Amino acid sequence: MLKLLLIASVAVILGLVFRAPETRAGSPVKDNKDRKHAPEFALKDANGKLVHLSDYRGKVVLLDFWATWCGPCGIEIPWFEEFERKYKDRGFEVLGVSMDDDGWKAINPFVTDKKINYRIVLGDDVTGEQYGGVEALPTTFVIDRDGRIASVHVGLTSRKDFEDAIEKLLEAAPNAGRGAKRADES
Amino acid sequence: MLAVALSAQMSPNLTVSPIPTIKVTKGAATVVTVKASLPAGYHANSNKPTESYLIPLTLKWTAGPLQMDSIAYPPPKSERFPFQQPTDKPLSVITGEFSIATKFKVPATAPSGPAAETGVLRYQACDNKACYPPKNVPVNITVSVE
């Protein structure tokens, strides 16, 4: 009995020490009929090339609003790097939208340090407003192959929530939701 | 605009207490204490954050008759947060109410009478799950030079 108690206590302590970071529950994947088109944008990447969201049509996109000074963003970034490797061949891409006021001077060293393997563009307030007034970082949108927002995650979200959303969207056929509302429709 | 319910996560406002008029003497030194507070549940980086990419708390005096000598920031707290990995080092932060003391010299050439001394308090706050863009709060004091 004493041995069992000891094992249970050790298990509890290990669980506390090696716990995963606390996360906020993300929104579940919306039904096709409830998804709205993600607002189009044209933002520059590190090479000065204009990147349009529409360039990604046909792919599942994880659109992450983040900043170098955001601690919770730094927790999610390694997950996104892994998603980029794991799902790229199935038609998935991560697109990071940095909201750093200092621009590439702040972003480039961070990207190098963290070995970020997905594309980063420099965001602005206009784009943040288009996406509902992004204030809290990270805020992440998972977008389906038809360019519609399937789930929104504000604040640090569990890795499983992201993976579940990505898997579900990758399995779905494109154009499954014709007639979806546009972003400016209520 | 995209009708997404993002408004629940609003950026916290740091409040600065009003500072009464300060009487100063030409050629002397004076200390001005700025009292500020962050809402419960939020923290801001201290003046000396643990990582170079974190934005520190700073107070910059931008205009006025006084000559800034030194600034004493509040002692930071070393805290761990739920969003950190177990291997991450604790963060150097401030929470709740805090004070920043500035030591000024009053130039002998300062004009007599009332004058405005203005500054900017810059901070970047987070809660346990998200971070918010850096903000600048104006700090205004009235000094009466004698």
| Confidence grade of residue B8 (pLDDT, cut at 50, 70, 90) | low
Q: Are B102 and B59 within 8 A, CB to CB?
A: yes
| Confidence grade of residue B87 (pLDDT, cut at 50, 70, 90) | confident
| Confidence grade of residue A4 (pLDDT, cut at 50, 70, 90) | very low
Give how far B71 is from chain A: nearest CA, Å: 24
Per-residue confidence (pLDDT) for residue A18, from 0 to 100: 39
What is the arithmetic mean of pLDDT over B130-136? 96
How many helices (H) and strands (E) chain B has is answered by: 0, 12
pLDDT in tens, B20-58: 999 999 999 999 999 999 999 999 999 999 988 999 999
Identify each DSSP E strand in B25-73 by its residue range: 29-37, 43-45, 58-63, 67-72
Average per-residue pLDDT in chain A?
Answer: 85
What whole-number distance in Å separates Cα of residue B64 and Cα of residue A52? 47
What's the CA angle centered on B119, arms B23 and B11, to 5 degrees? 130
Look at B53 and A39 and tell me if their CB atoms are within 8 Å: no
What whole-number distance in Å separates Cα of residue A26 and Cα of residue B5? 12
| Confidence grade of residue B10 (pLDDT, cut at 50, 70, 90) | confident
Per-residue confidence (pLDDT) for residue A15, from 0 to 100: 41
For A158, B23, B43, B124, the CA distances from A24, given in Å and listed in that order, are 7, 50, 18, 21
Give how far B120 is from chain A: nearest CA, Å: 17
Phi, psi of B106 (to 5 degrees): -100, 110
Residue A43: CB atoms within 10 Å: 19
Does residue A138 have a cis peptide bond before it, meaning omega lies within 30 degrees of 0? Answer: yes
| Confidence grade of residue B145 (pLDDT, cut at 50, 70, 90) | very high
Give the closest of A18, A137, A149 to B130, CB-based. A137
Please give the share of chain A, as a percent, with pLDDT higher than 70: 78
Look at B2 and A131 and tell me if their CB atoms are within 8 Å: yes
Q: Are A81 and A113 within 8 A, CB to CB?
A: no
Residue A23 identity (one-letter amino acid): T
Look at A69 and B55 and tell me if their CB atoms are within 8 Å: yes
Q: Does B57 touch chain A (CB under 8 A)?
A: no
| pTM of the full structure | 0.84
Both tokens of B42, joined, read: 């939020």
Look at A21 and B11 and tell me if their CB atoms are within 8 Å: no
Both tokens of A42, joined, read: 């044209």
Task: With a cut of 60, say whether residue B92 has pLDDT above it.
Answer: yes
Look at A132 and B6 and tell me if their CB atoms are within 8 Å: yes
Neighboring chain B residues of A131 at a CB cutoff of 8 Å = 2, 4, 6
Neighboring chain A residues of B134 at a CB cutoff of 8 Å = 69, 101
What whole-number distance in Å separates Cα of residue B123 and Cα of residue B54? 10
Per-residue confidence (pLDDT) for residue B119, from 0 to 100: 97
Give how far B117 is from chain A: nearest CA, Å: 27
Neighboring chain B residues of A16 at a CB cutoff of 8 Å = none
pLDDT in tens, A37-61: 999 999 999 999 999 999 999 999 9
Task: With a cut of 70, say whether residue B132 has pLDDT above it.
Answer: yes
How many helices (H) and strands (E) chain A has is answered by: 5, 8
pLDDT in tens, A73-105: 999 999 999 999 999 999 999 999 999 999 999
What whole-number distance in Å separates Cα of residue A140 and Cα of residue A151? 8
Task: With a cut of 70, say whether residue A11 has pLDDT above it.
Answer: no
Q: Does A1 touch chain B (CB under 8 A)?
A: no
Neighboring chain A residues of B53 at a CB cutoff of 8 Å = 68-69, 106, 110
Per-residue confidence (pLDDT) for residue B4, from 0 to 100: 52
What ipTM does this complex have?
0.83
Look at A136 and B2 and tell me if their CB atoms are within 8 Å: no
With a CB cutoff of 8 Å and minimum separation 6, the contacts of A15 are: none
pLDDT in tens, A136-152: 999 999 999 999 999 99
Per-residue confidence (pLDDT) for residue A22, from 0 to 100: 54
Pick the residue from chain B with its C-alpha nearest to A151. B4
Per-residue confidence (pLDDT) for residue A6, from 0 to 100: 47
- A140 - beta bridge partners? A64, A153
Q: Does B136 touch chain A (CB under 8 A)?
A: no
pLDDT in tens, B59-79: 999 999 999 999 999 999 999
Q: Does A101 touch chain B (CB under 8 A)?
A: yes
What whole-number distance in Å separates Cα of residue A116 and Cα of residue A109? 11
